[in-house]
């Protein structure tokens, strides 16, 4: 399944952005989800599982040094326990629905 989406005419491959963020030593899992945006079409949102002491703002700053501007997530959310399936792969569909609820917007 191809998860490619576009932001301001630039193609974003979520897996590519996720690989960069996963390089951070405090990150265990990350998912990039497209969020509909009136100006850009879609914008990336990061949903992360990271160490307890990990500050999302610091993670955003760290990632900004390693990602192109159009790839940088506009929102950072912690992965909730309710979406973890005890080692089973997390459903992107369920994740998109959860992000939609958190942001009160449409997620593709």
pLDDT single digits (tens) 52-97: 899 999 999 999 999 999 999 999 999 988 887 666 788 888 888 8
In a domain? residue 18: yes
Is residue 60 included in any domain, yes or no?
A: yes
Burial class (CB in 10 A: 0-12, 13-18, 19+), 16: middle
Q: What are phi and psi of 38, to 5 degrees?
A: -60, -35
Beta strands 10-12; 5-7: pairing state: antiparallel
Please name which of 57, 12, 6, 52 lies closest in space to residue 28, comparing C-alpha atoms.
52
Please report whether residue 25 resides in a domain: yes
Q: What is the pLDDT of residues 3-56, one digit of tens each?
A: 899 999 999 999 999 999 999 999 999 999 999 899 999 999 999 999 989 999
Q: For the chain, what is the domain count? A: 1
- The answer to the question of residue 92 being in a domain is yes
Establish if 108 belongs to a structural domain: no
The DSSP bridge partners found for residue 7 are 10
pTM of this structure: 0.88
Question: Which CATH number do you get for residue 94?
Answer: 3.30.300.30
Q: By residue range, what is the domain housing residue 36?
A: 5-103
């Amino acid at each position: 399944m191809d998860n490619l989406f576009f932001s301001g005419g630039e193609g974003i491959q979520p897996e590519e952005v996720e690989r960069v963020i996963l390089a951070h030593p405090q990150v265990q899992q990350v998912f990039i989800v497209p969020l509909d945006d009136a100006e850009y079409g879609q914008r990336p949102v990061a949903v992360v599982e990271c160490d307890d002491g990990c500050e999302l703002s610091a993670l955003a700053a760290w990632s900004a040094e390693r990602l192109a501007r159009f790839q940088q997530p506009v929102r950072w959310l912690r992965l909730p326990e309710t979406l973890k399936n005890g080692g089973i792969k997390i459903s992107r569909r369920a994740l998109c629905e959860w992000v939609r609820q958190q942001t009160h917007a449409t997620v593709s």
